[in-house]
Amino acid sequence: MNIAVFCSGSGTNLQAIIDAHKRGDIKADLKLVVSDVPACLALERAKKAGIKTLIVERKDFKSKEDFEAEIIKNLNKEKIDLIVLAGYMRLISTDFVNQYKNKILNIHPALLPSFKGTHGIKDAFEYGVKVTGPTVHFVTQDMDAGPIILQGAIKVTEDDTEESLAQAIHKEEHKLYPRAIQLFVEGKIKIEGRKVRII
Ligand code: GAR
């Protein structure tokens, strides 16, 4: 199975995926890392691991459709079976999602359906929740709304700061995401309507 990982930033989840792959905990090929942000740390991590990289910047294309067509062309070239969004801070169009139906995963740093969007950790912390944590889910046309594969629960203590909470959530993400990817690779994830069954 060929995997492409999409990133826009520091790529700590990508690193966790690379490390899990090296340990043999993800039994698939990490074929391509796609980034819409040139010179992000994620690209450095990919290069260091010897993974092919692709930089596609939105500003270089007239429309979102053209921008995504360039990405899809490269995914086809690499025969990608699974797309893993790891801190990719762009919404994927409905057309793109439909072309890779049930083959795009995302990680979100809050317990969905709470605190969707780009500030999941901050929003949960400021709301005063007592438990939060990352969610791995399928990507559908609605943002952060696809069937949930795995979630990790993190207790928020009175001593926590937004930073300490972020650290705990990231640590959990780095365990959860490789596990979810390997479940997908093994064909153990079954979608039944809104629900996911791990078989
Ligand atoms: C992760 O915490 C991920 O959950 C979050 O971006 C971070 C990327 O970190 N994603 C979202 O907020 C998506 N809505 P990384 O680049 O170090 O993996």
pLDDT tens, residue by residue, 32-78: 999 999 999 999 999 999 999 999 999 999 999 999 999 999 999 99
**Strand duo 148-151 + 135-138: pairing:** antiparallel
Point out the ligand 1 atom lying closest to the alpha carbon of residue 16. Answer: 18
Domain 108-199 class, CATH top level: alpha beta
pLDDT at 165: 98
Mean pLDDT over each residue of the chain, to the nearest integer: 98
The CA-based angle 86-92-98, given to 5 degrees, is 115
Residue 27: pLDDT band (50, 70, 90) is: very high
Of 112, 170, 174, 176, the residue with max ligand 1 atoms within 8 A of its CB, to mutate for a pocket test, comes to 170
The pLDDT of residue 86: 98
Give 77's contacts (C-beta < 8 A, 6+ positions apart): none
How far is 149 from 135, CA to CA, in rounded Å?
A: 8
Which residue's CA is minimally distant from atom 7 of ligand 1? 87
Q: Looking only at Cα atoms, what is the longest distance across the chain?
A: 50
pTM assigned to the model? 0.98
Ligand 1 atom at minimal distance to the Cα of residue 166? 2
CA of 172 to the centre of ligand 1 (A): 12
pLDDT digits (tens, 9 = 90+) for 71-97: 999 999 999 999 999 999 999 999 999
Q: Same CATH fold, 108-199 and 1-100?
A: yes
**pLDDT for the residue numbered 128:** 98
The arrangement of secondary structure in 1-100, i.e. its CATH architecture, is: 3-Layer(aba) Sandwich (3.40)
Pairwise CA distance, residues 106 & 108, whole Å: 7
Report the pLDDT value the prediction gives residue 71, as an integer from 0 to 100.
98
Residue 104 tokens, joined? 């795009």
The minimum-distance atom of ligand 1 relative to the CA of 108 is 4
Please list, in sequence order, all residues whose beta carbon lies within 8 angstroms of the beta carbon of residue 84, skipping any fewer than 6 positions away: 3, 4, 5, 6, 17, 104, 105, 177, 181
C-alpha 56 – ligand 1 centre gap (Å): 19
Which residue is closest in CA terms to ligand 1's atom 17? 12
Residues near ligand 1 (Cβ within 6 A): 7, 9-13, 42, 86-87, 107-109, 118, 120, 134, 170, 173
Domain ranges within the chain, ordered by starting residue: 1-100, 108-199
Q: 12-23 and 162-185 helices cross at what angle (nearest 10)?
A: 40
pLDDT at 159: 98
What percent of the chain has pLDDT above 90?
A: 100
Q: What is the pLDDT of residues 118-132, one digit of tens each?
A: 999 999 999 999 999
CB burial of residue 53 (10 Å; 0-12, 13-18, 19+): middle
